[in-house]
Structure 1
Amino acid sequence: MSRLSPAGRALAGRLPAGGGRLAVAALVQSLGIGLFMASSMAFYTRFVGLSAEQVGVGLAAAGVVALGASLLGGELADRYGARRVLALLYCGRAVCCAGYGFVHGFWQFVALTLAAVAVDRSAPAVLQALVAASVDEQRERTGLLAVLNVVRNAGLGIGAIAAGGALVTGTLFGYRITLGCVALAFLVAAVLVLRVPEHGVARRPERRRDRQLPTAGRQPADRQPGERLLPDGRYLVLTGLNFLLTFFDSLLLVAMPVWVLEHTDAPAVTVSVLFAVNTGLVVLLQIPVSRFADGLRRAGRMVRWAGAVLALGSLGFAAAGACRGWPSIGWLVLAVIALSLGEVIASTAGWELSIALAPAQRRGRYLSVFNLGLSAERVLGPLVVTGALIGLGTAGWAAAAAVFLGAGLASERVALGSWRQPDEPPDGQPHGQPDGPPERQPAEPPPATEALAN
């Protein structure tokens, strides 16, 4: 049994069964990722002998290949259970991290990075599938995902600070010890994940039995929507729209620093301050905002709000570039506040919608496709914002605002059933309902105090 601090025990006491172990696992493995991210570049260039360009090429190639490889994790989770698959992925990360300590050339680095990135990009969808399989109540499920996100962000920061030890020593032994600690962190996370209770594990239906014993109101197994290679059209459209909304990540990590340094007269230290503001707001707001995602309808309305808030943040950056001095800094702060709030709202709504609209027996596959949009944004986002948005200046930020606003409005319509295929559930109803006609529950009007849900 893992030992937690009093604060940790208090938090775990408010989490569903297994939530405490998942939170500790998220903290441990994020500490390892923070260690790795902060120290790996120096290790590659100093001891492996790679140039910065070679590292960039290897990481870019790995990111592209991982777009397809990440779908395998969801398929395996559907077949064998999310808990075992997630533990296996963490063990794979441990092997890859330990292996970096013995890389001696570019192609070894590329091969190992391909494996590491593929495993890394597969894990988020499998983690969501595990949360969905281990937590029945929707509010608790979304709350747990919010807690995991907060813990992960905190662990990344702490791990990055701890990496200073390897950077200070500057020795191969010190870097190998750091990589060993990262590998150990993933192994501990794998052990913790294996202790999370998982019920309702989806299994592939037996087709022969279904054909021989047809059930009233049920199609043959080979004609079930869950048997498609890809998710239904509604889910794919929502995935594409969420891909557009997740461009807040590239705006914050890539566009914001370039815009501040090259298009405003704000001091360079402003970039660090803005990153700190973003991190603090995400940590503070993620859990409270997750409480508004109470059901499919409210999550659908939240994604509309996310698009509107992200649009306001984009316009704030445009305003910052049109003035000088303190007004410019003020607009930058307001823009980052808006983007941070939009990030929190969009993430929370995306968690709920991606799980609620996925059929239970194919949840892993659906979530892998949904998270494929997030991986694609990591690859394409920096190219789009540097090649188009920054180049267009104020007009680029205005275009980004229009895209965010349109994606938010369209996502609400798709999520709430205004656009669907004939074989999809009725308005507002998620996949995975029991056989037979779904019971339509009257929609309860949201409380007037919950502004995000209205």
Structure 2
Amino acid sequence: MSLQQRRTALKDRIPGGTDGRRMLWIALVDKSGNGLWAATAALYFTYVTGLSAAQVGILVAVSAGIGIAGAPLAGRVADRLPLTRVLIAMQLQRAVAALALLTTDNYTLLIAFSAVGSLGDRAANVLTKLYAARIAGPDRVRYQAVSRTVANIGFALGGLAAASALGIGTTLAYQALVVGSALPSLGAALLTLRCAEAPSPTRIVTGSASRVCDANPETTAKPASPWRDPTYLFYTASESVLFLHDAVFKVGLPLWIVHATDAPHGLAPLLLVLNSVMVVTLQIPLARFGGTTKAARRLLVPLAAVFAAGALAMSLSAVAGGRTTIAALVAASIVLTLAEILHATASWELSLALAPDDAQGAYLGVHGLAQAAQRSVGPLVMTAVIATGPVGWALLGAGLAATCLAQSRLVRDHLPGPALSVAPVTVSHQ
């Protein structure tokens, strides 16, 4: 097979056509900025603006709390306005908010600018997922797997770039990193300008005039609201529990190694690297196990067992010692990473399959609250687990497994037949 044939075959394997491939580049560029800022933020606020550790903690907590509103607001707006234009606005908002940090060391303004950036970040996450669902159709799970892999690579590249510059340690270097974190958002906005508007179940996109109008102008019924859908609300609540795998790796695992085991402290970052490598290499291959709505629901049963096994391995790491402890921690990291990958696959499909076609944005916006809530509550849960010891991990595993089974039962009778992302729409050319 020639090089050109290989390139063509690779393109054919990515759903969404040209715009799908463009959105992957956008994800790579955008997440590199996120990785850069994640590695820079605390140090910038400490050494450049002169905030104390407590002030930095409050700033992060408040901005993240306000940012939670970004997901439902953006989702609702995206059901009414062209999605790409809303996404560009959020990308520009994040860039402006980052650059605004350079203009002041006033604590109130720093919180305000950080909150604006956080709101834009949460909104952009929902909008990119919605765009992917609309352009990839029934292949949305595979596309999201590719997108998550690319995003992880971009985040890692941003972190590496920050690490190489942080060694300089000067004010100018920190300020340059802030500018560097804003530029990918600007680049993502420019790339998004080249993306065609995704077909929407509620709008007609006219070709030459590029106008968007109501796809059903004679319909007077209001679109469904996720806030009046108890099944979706309970599903989202259960998702906030399953997303605790994020807090396990970011908070629970490092603290557990340091405070509850005799494993070397240097093992913690190595296990985080292992997690990232596994996600990058396995997310796409394992996506096939949740490629349909029914398959995604069936995935919840083995996911329950995987969560329980990973938590049990964490418990055993404190009971044993020496090499056995290290082996148990490595095994726990591998198993819990598999749980993370499988949950991501099921979550992508079910969060859309449970959403009516005329309100996908609003429903995905509410679903975005699950991750946001976990980011706020997750560290507290991990602290409680660690304080309880091996029993705490056993209880966490049991809780996660029970949530998987309860979620499977919850969605069983509320899933549609065919799991297509977008209902047929009319495209006219004038």
Instruction: With the length of structure 1 as denominator, give the TM-score of the two structures.
Output: 0.84
After TM superposition, list the pairs within 5 Å mapping 1:358-437 onto structure 2.
358-386=355-383, 388-417=384-413, 420=414
Counterpart residue number, 1:124: 125
1:184 to 2:190 alignment:
no
SS in structure 2 at match of 1:350: helix
Q: 1:121 to 1:284 in 2, by over 3 A?
A: same
Give the letter aligned to residue 50 of structure 1.
L
Q: Secondary structure at the match of 2:262?
A: coil
- Choose the corresponding residue for 1:344, options 341, 348, 370: 341
Match of 2:67 in 1: 66
Which digits, 9 at most, give the CA deviation of each residue in 1:147-206, with x for residues without a partner? 111111111111111113431332333223222222221111112223223342244869
SS at match of 2:173: helix
Matching of residues 254-293 of structure 1 within 5 Å = 254-293=251-290
1:229 shift after superposition: 5.9
Q: Quickly say closer, same or farther: Cα 1:164–1:356, change in 2 above 3 A.
A: same
2:206 equivalent to 1:210? no
Deviation of 1:103 (Å): 2.4
Give the corresponding residue for 2:136: 135
Ranked by relative contact order (alpha carbons within 8 Å, sequence separation 6 or more), the top structure is 2
In 2: Cα distance, 1:64 partner to 1:329 partner: 36
Distance 2:145 2:367 in 1: 18
User: Structure 1 residues 428, 323: CA separation in 2 closer, same or farther (over 3 Å shift)?
Assistant: farther
Paired with 1:158 and 1:186, the residues of 2 have a C-alpha distance of 15
8 Å Cα contact 1:245/1:346 also seen in 2: yes
Residue of structure 2 aligned with 1:334, choices 331, 334, 358: 331
| 2:301 corresponding residue in structure 1 | 304
**1:106-149 Cα shifts (integer Å, max 9, x gaps):** 1111111111111111122111111112222x2x2211111111
Deviation at 1:346, TM superposition (A): 0.0
8 Å contact kept, 1:293–1:349: yes
Q: Describe the superposition over 1:27-84 as per-residue Cα deviations: whole angstroms up to 9, x where unpaired.
A: 1111111111112222111111111210110111112222234311101111113222
What secondary structure does 1:50 align onto? Answer: coil
Q: RMSD in angstroms over aligned alpha carbons? A: 2.5
Question: In 1, are the aligned partners of 2:289 and 2:296 still within 8 Å (CA)?
Answer: yes
CA distance in 2, matches of 1:362, 1:38: 36
- Count of aligned residue pairs for this structure pair: 410
Moved more, 159-168 or 280-289: 159-168
Residue by residue over 1:370-402, the C-alpha shift from the partner in whole angstroms, topping out at 9 and shown as x without a partner, is 11011100001101210x211111111111111
Question: Could you say if the C-alpha distance between residues 340 and 389 of structure 1 is closer, same or farther in structure 2, counting changes exceeding 3 Å?
Answer: same
> What is the identity, as a one-letter code, of the residue corresponding to 1:241?
S
Match for residue 235 of structure 1? 232
Q: Hey, what does 2:206 align to over in structure 1?
A: none
Secondary structure at 1:368's aligned position in 2? helix
CA separation of 1:361 and 1:117: change in aligned 2, threshold 3 A: same
Q: Is the 8 A contact 1:134 1:198 kept in 2?
A: no
| Alpha-carbon distance in structure 2 between the residues aligned to 1:123 and 1:288 | 26
**Structure 2 equivalent of residue 23 of structure 1:** 24
| Cα distance in 1 between the residues matched to 2:25 and 2:215 | 37
- Contact 1:302–1:345 (8 Å) recurs in 2: yes
Q: Percent identity?
A: 33
Letter in 2 for 1:94: A
More displaced stretch, 331-340 vs 5-14? 5-14
Change (3 A) 1:319 1:194: same
What amino acid sits opposite 1:350 in the alignment?
Answer: S
Partner of 2:354: 357
* Paired residue type of 2:185: F
Q: Secondary structure at the match of 2:299?
A: helix
- Are positions 1:246 and 2:243 aligned together? yes
Flag structure 2 segments of 5+ consecutive residues without an equivalent: 204-213, 425-430
